[in-house]
Amino acid sequence: MVFLLITCFTSGIYAQAIKGKISDKSGPLPGVNVLVEGTGKGAVSDMDGSYEVRGLPANTNLTVVYSFVGYRTERRPINLKPGQTLEINITMAEEISRLDEVVVVGYGVQRRRDVTGSVVKLGAKEVTDMPTPSFETAIQGKAAGVQIITGSGLAGSGSVVRIRGIASISGSGDPLYVVDGIPITQDFFIKGNAGAMNNNPLAVLNPGDIESIEILKDASATGIFGSRGANGVILITTKRGKTPDWTFNFSTRVGTSSPVARPNMLSGPEFLQMYKEAWINDGKVGVPVLPGGIKWEDAQNINTNWVDEVIRVGVKQRYDLSAGRQTNKYDFFAGISFDGNQSYLTGNNYDRSSIRLNGGYNITSKLKISANLSLIEGINNRVDEGWAGGLGAAMSTALPIYPIRNPDGSYFIGGTNPVRLRELKEWRTRELRSISGITLTYNPAKNLYINLNTNYDYMNLVEDIYEPAELLLVTDRVGDSRRFTNIINNWNTFLTATYDWKVNEKNRLNIMAGLEFQEQARGGMSYFSTVAGAPFWKARDMLDNRQDFTPEKSRFGSVFSRINFTNQEKYIVQGVIRADASSKFGPDNRVGFFPSVSGGWIVSEEAFMKYNPVINFMKVKASYGIAGVAPPGNRDLWRSSFGIDSVRGYNGQPILFPLLLENPTLKWETSQIFDAGVEMGLWEDRITTEFSYYYKYSTDVFLNVSLPGYAGFDNFFDNLATIYNQGVEWVVKSKNIAKQNFSWTTEFNIARNWNKITDISGFNEEAVSGGTNDTRVVLGYPVGTNFLVRFSHVDPATGRPVYLDINGEPTFEWNPANRVPAGRVLPDAIGGVTNILRYKNYDLSFLFVFTIGGNIYDSSSKRQLGTFDSDGWNHRTDQFDRWRKPGDVATYPRLTTTPETYGTGTPWINTTLWLHDASYARLRNLTIGYTLPQEAARKLKVRNARIYFTGTNLLTFTRFIGLDPEIARDFENVTDRNMSVNITFLTPPQEKTFNLGIDISF
C-alpha cells in the first residue's frame, strides 16, 4: 500500500514523458542523442529509431535537443501537462551530406569536407564486432588497400598490416600506431621468436576502449607524421563520455576456439608401411632401422595421434563494463574489462585485464585539461609451437610410433614428445602496459588553440620460464628458472598551435604548427636460478644471478606545420611540412624534411552540378609528398661501438671487441608518393563510392645485407634498394534496401598493388641477411619473391623428382644455383564484402574477405612430404599419391630414406613443389543479433539490450592443400616480417570461433 502510494506520488510529479521515432530519409536512425535541456535527462535512439525519455517535470518550458554526428541538430520546445506522454517523431536531415563529419587527422581534426588525403574511418562497432586475438585483426576486409594477414592460432597472435603495398625491406614496413596522439611502442621482436611466436605489442589494447580508428593511407594524410608515416598511420581514439547523463554499458561474450583445419598426419601403421616402402626402395634389406632407436616390433604396438594430444576446444570469455558522461564542465569515461582468451592449443591462453579512465575538465572557459589513463595487464600462458613444439611437433618430429609414456608411467624421451614438454615446462609472459597522457588546451583568443600534450607509454614485459630437472634430464640441479624483464619507457610530448582564420565569407585558412619530442629508452634484466624449483612468478624471493641488458635509447624531435586553405567550401589546398631529427643518424644526415602538398575540389558544389539527378556529391583530390623511414630499434647503426666482457672473457681475462661495422653515411629511407582519388555519392547517397590511385617510389631503402665472410662481420645496414609500388583501390557502399522495417546495406572494397624492386646496388639474391630467408630480394621482382628450384615432374621410369636447371632443361640434380623467381607472396588483389541486413529487431551481418593470386609457400611440406630419414618427421597423407612402380604417374616421387634419391645431400630442399596458389575467400565473420524492443527494454530498466551470436572463420574456399591459406609464421626480424608473410612452417592455423554475446546499456 505504501509502495503504491509512493508510486502514485512520484508519478504525480514526474509521470510525464516524451517518446517517438527518429529517422532520416533512408529509414530509422539509431544512436541519436536525445537531451532534454536543463533536466539532465536524455536517451539514445535504438535500432528501430525509437526513443523515450521519462520522468520529465510538468508545466515547465523545456527544449528537446536531437543530435547526431553528420546530421543537423534539431530542437523542439515542449511544455508537458501532468501525466502527459508526448509523441514527437523527428526526421533528421544530414548536414550538407556527410561532409561535416569530424575526422581525426593527426595533431587535430578536420571536417571530412576539408580532407584532401585518403583516410578510412572505422567506428567502435567495426572493431569489436568479432572476437580476434588482437584488435587490428578486426580491420581485415573493411578498409580498401589495407592488407591484414592474421598471424596464427596462437593466443594473442599478431597480424601483419600493410597499407598500400610494401615499401620497406629491412626498415619497418608496419604502419605507425598512434593511440590518442601517442606513437606507441610497437616492437614485435622484444622476445625474438621464442617458442615460434613474436610478442605482439598490440595485443594489450582493449578493443572495447576504442571509439574510432582512422587509417591514413596517402602522403597528404600521413605527411604530418613525416618520417614515420611512410607505411601509413593508424590513429586510434579511445572512448570519452558523450551523453548528458550517465550511461553504463556492459557487454559480455563467451565462445569457443578450434582450428580452421586439422593436419592430416600419418597414423602409426601408415607411417611404418611408408617407412618400409622407402627402406625397400633404397635396396636395403632386413628390419628397417627406425628413428629414435625404436625397435620395429615395439613400433607396431604404438599409434599415438599427437594432434589430438596437443589441441582442444578453447574457451573464450570477455566482460566489459563502462560508464560515461559529458556535461558543460567535464567529460568522463571509465571502463574495466577482462578478456580470457584460450586458443585451441592445449595450455595456451591470453588473459587481458584493463582499466581506463578518460576525462576532461574545463578549468576556465579558456583552459581545459584532459587526461587519458589506461592500465593493462596481459598474461600469456605460453606453449612452444611451430618449430619449437606443440602442434608443430605433432606435425613434424613427434612420430606416431612414439608413445607419450613408457609402460612404467614415465614420459617417453626417445624422441620428440610435445606432451612431455608442455606438461613439464612452465612458461608465462606478463605485460604491464600503461598508455597515458595529459593534454592542456588553451584558447587565448577566438579560433586560436594551443595544445600541450605529454604522454607516456610504459611497457614492462616479464617472461618467466621454468624447466624442471625431469625435462632437462639432469640430476645436478632442481631445474632452471629464468626470468627476462624488458622495460620500455616511451615519452612523447608535443606542443601545437592551431588557428582557424576565417579570412572572409569565401575563404578560410586553418594553420597548425607544432613541435614534438620523443625519447624511447629500453632496458631490462635477466635472472637465473637452479634452486628455485618453480617459475619466478611463484618463487619471487628466489630471484638470483641478475644480469642487466645493455640499455638502449633513442631520441626523436620534429617541427611541423599544416596549412589548409578552403575557398567557397569547394576548393581546398593543403600544404604540410615536417622536419624530423633522429638520433639514429650521424650528424650529417640527422635531419630530414618531409613536405607534402595536396588539393581537393568538391565538384558537386559547382553550379553546373547542382541539379544533376544522379550525382549528388563528387570530390576530386590529389596529393604529392615525401615520407621517410628511420632504422628499426634504438641502437646506433651509424657509428661503431665496442663491447667488453669481463665476466667470462677468455682465459679468465677480459675481452674487448667491435660490435658492428659503422655506416657514417646512413640516411633516411624516403618515399615519394603521388595519389589521386575521386569520391562520389549517387542517388542521394544510396550509393557512395571512392576510387583511388597511388604511386609510391621509395629510394635509399634499407637493406641489412649479408656481408661476405671475409668482411669479418655478418651484416651491414645501409641504404641500398629502390622499390616502387603503385595501386588502385575501389570502395562502394550501397543501401540496397532502406525500409522502415527492413534494410540491407552492402560494402565492397578491392585493392590491387603492383610492387617491384628496381635496384639492390649490385648485391645478389642472398644479400638480405638474417631471418628464416623464406623469400628473396630479387632485382625486377616484388618484395617477397619465392626464389626456388623449379620442380618439373616425377620421372615415371625411376620415380625420382625431375627439376629444371637454370636453362629450363630437366635434371635429377637439385642445385640451388638453379633457383629462379618462381612466385611471390604479394597477392594480385585483396578485398572484402560486408552485408548488413536488418529486419525489425533482428540483424544479420556477414563479412567475406578474399585474396586473389599470389603464392603461399608450405615450407614444412618439404619434410612432411619428403624423405624418411634418420631425424624422423611424420608425413602427411597427401603422400599416398606417390610413385611406386615404373610407369606410375604420381604427384610425389618414390619414397626414400636418403636425400640422394632426390638429387641432393639434404632433406631440406626448397622447390616449387611446395609453392601453391594463395587465392582464397573466407567467411571471416557471421553475426546474427536481436535487439530488445524499446518496450521490453523499458520493462527491464535498460536503454538498450542486444543479444547476438557471432562466428569467425566459418568457411574457407581455397585450392591450397595445406592448413590455412592466410598465415604469417613467426619471424626472426623486421626484414623477415616484410618479406615472408604467407610462408607457413608448422604454423598453427587460425582459429574458428563460435560466440554468444550480450550488450546492455542503461
User: Of residues 243-302, which lie at the interface with another protein (CB under 8 A)?
Assistant: 286-289, 292-293
> Shortest Cβ distance from residue 293 to another protein (Å)?
6
> Shortest Cβ distance from residue 791 to another protein (Å)?
17
Q: Point out which residues pair with 688 in neighbouring strands.
A: 681, 733
> Shortest Cβ distance from residue 187 to another protein (Å)?
17
CA–CA distance, 395 with 224 (Å, rounded to integer): 48
CA–CA distance, 208 with 338 (Å, rounded to integer): 10
Cell numbers at residue 937, please?
527494454
Q: Applying CB under 8 A, which of residues 46, 718, 747, 999 lies at the interface with another protein?
A: 718
> Shortest Cβ distance from residue 680 to another protein (Å)?
34
* 709 contacts 750 by C-beta, under 8 angstroms: no
Q: Is 706 in the site for another protein (CB under 8 A)?
A: yes
Considering only residues 595 to 654 of the shown chain, the ones binding another protein according to CB under 8 A are 635-636, 639-644, 647-654
Which of residues 557 and 821 has its CB atom nearest to another protein in the complex?
557
CA–CA distance, 854 with 851 (Å, rounded to integer): 8
Considering only residues 782 to 841 of the shown chain, the ones binding another protein according to CB under 8 A are 813, 815-817
> Shortest Cβ distance from residue 906 to another protein (Å)?
5
Q: Is 744 in the site for another protein (CB under 8 A)?
A: no
Q: Point out which residues pair with 362 in neighbouring strands.
A: 368
Considering only residues 896 to 935 of the shown chain, the ones binding another protein according to CB under 8 A are 900, 904-908
941 C-beta neighbours (distance < 10 Å), count: 7
Q: Applying CB under 8 A, which of residues 656, 737, 797, 940 lies at the interface with another protein?
A: 656
According to DSSP, residue 292 is labeled G
* 210 contacts 127 by C-beta, under 8 angstroms: yes
Q: Applying CB under 8 A, which of residues 514, 681, 801, 831 lies at the interface with another protein?
A: 514
Contacts of 55 (CB under 8 A, 6+ apart): 14, 16, 17, 41
Which of residues 96 and 509 has its CB atom nearest to another protein in the complex?
509
Q: Point out which residues pair with 429 in neighbouring strands.
A: 380, 463
Stretch that binds another protein, among 240-248, 359-367, 554-562, 799-807 (CB under 8 A): 554-562
> Shortest Cβ distance from residue 414 to another protein (Å)?
8
Kindly list the distances between the CA atom of residue 897 and the CA atoms of 289, 489, 658, 803, 872, in Å, as whole numbers in the listed order.
Answer: 10, 53, 45, 19, 10
**Three-state DSSP class for 112?**
helix
Which of residues 624 and 902 has its CB atom nearest to another protein in the complex?
902
Considering only residues 427 to 456 of the shown chain, the ones binding another protein according to CB under 8 A are 444-445, 448, 450
Which of residues 512 and 830 has its CB atom nearest to another protein in the complex?
512
Residue with cell 527491464: 940
Q: Which of 160, 163, 145 is nearest to 831 (CA)?
A: 145
Considering only residues 358 to 397 of the shown chain, the ones binding another protein according to CB under 8 A are none
CA–CA distance, 876 with 794 (Å, rounded to integer): 18
Q: Is 406 in the site for another protein (CB under 8 A)?
A: no
Q: Applying CB under 8 A, which of residues 6, 313, 531, 655 lies at the interface with another protein?
A: 655
**Three-state DSSP class for 3?**
helix
What's the distance, CA 111 to chain centroid? 27
> Shortest Cβ distance from residue 717 to another protein (Å)?
11
Backbone angles phi, psi at 167, to 5 degrees: -120, 5
Which of residues 773 and 984 has its CB atom nearest to another protein in the complex?
773
CA–CA distance, 377 with 431 (Å, rounded to integer): 6
Which of residues 86 and 591 has its CB atom nearest to another protein in the complex?
591
Q: Which residues of 754-787 are buried (b: 16+ CB within 10 A; e: fewer)?
A: ebebeebeebebebbbbbbbbbbbbbebbbbbbb
Contacts of 601 (CB under 8 A, 6+ apart): 570, 571, 572, 619, 620, 621
Which of residues 682 and 720 has its CB atom nearest to another protein in the complex?
720
> How many residues make up the chain in this entry?
1002
Residues touching another protein: how many (CB under 8 A)?
Answer: 91
> Shortest Cβ distance from residue 346 to another protein (Å)?
27
Cell numbers at residue 504, please?
572572409
Q: Applying CB under 8 A, which of residues 191, 428, 590, 733 lies at the interface with another protein?
A: 590
* Residue 469 backbone class (left: φ over 0; alpha: ψ -120 to 50; beta: rest): alpha
* 755 contacts 724 by C-beta, under 8 angstroms: yes
Considering only residues 836 to 895 of the shown chain, the ones binding another protein according to CB under 8 A are 870-871
Considering only residues 754 to 773 of the shown chain, the ones binding another protein according to CB under 8 A are 764, 766-767, 769
Which of residues 308 and 900 has its CB atom nearest to another protein in the complex?
900
Stretch that binds another protein, among 198-206, 219-227, 548-556, 982-990 (CB under 8 A): 548-556
Which of residues 308 and 548 has its CB atom nearest to another protein in the complex?
548
Which of residues 635 and 938 has its CB atom nearest to another protein in the complex?
635
Q: Applying CB under 8 A, which of residues 323, 452, 487, 661 lies at the interface with another protein?
A: 661
Measure the CA angle with vertex 860, ends 855 and 864; round to 5°.
120
Backbone angles phi, psi at 554, to 5 degrees: -140, 155
> Shortest Cβ distance from residue 408 to another protein (Å)?
18
Which of residues 615 and 644 has its CB atom nearest to another protein in the complex?
644
* Residue 647 backbone class (left: φ over 0; alpha: ψ -120 to 50; beta: rest): alpha
Which of residues 313 and 711 has its CB atom nearest to another protein in the complex?
711
Considering only residues 493 to 512 of the shown chain, the ones binding another protein according to CB under 8 A are 495, 497-499, 501, 511-512
> Shortest Cβ distance from residue 716 to another protein (Å)?
5
